[in-house]
Amino acid sequence: MDRAIPEFLGIPAPAVTRWTAAHSDLHWANVTAPLRILDWEGWGRAPEGFDAATLYAYTLLQENIAARVRTAFPILGSPAARQPGSPAASPPKRPRAQLLQTVSRGDNLPLEDRLRAWSEELRRC
């Protein structure tokens, strides 16, 4: 994981103790109604909650949708996710770091301020 997501903004990748099957690129362009998840070429194993945190990161510009995603995926707001060193705290840190890396390359620029604010929130965890 340290190779996949290098230390970014001075936050090292936390240790992962629970891995699960994951889409690994879950964003709104890969979700349809009725519910279907598309674009599975990157699927594999990822830290528990990784897909939920990725989808949440892509909702940060729509506060009402972000709140619904947090409600739908309790791991994002669980007490365990707020504990320093908790395995549940690591999923939000990884997608956030990945998206901030894309911002540094000129992609996802509208998300930058919200991602940085989320970074500060997670840094306090």
Higher pLDDT among residues 34 and 94, named by residue: 34
pLDDT digits (tens, 9 = 90+) for 48-93: 888 888 898 899 999 999 999 989 988 887 655 554 444 444 556 6
Q: Read off the pTM.
A: 0.74
Domain definitions of the chain by residue range: 47-123
> What is the rounded CA–CA span in Å between residue 89 and residue 81?
4
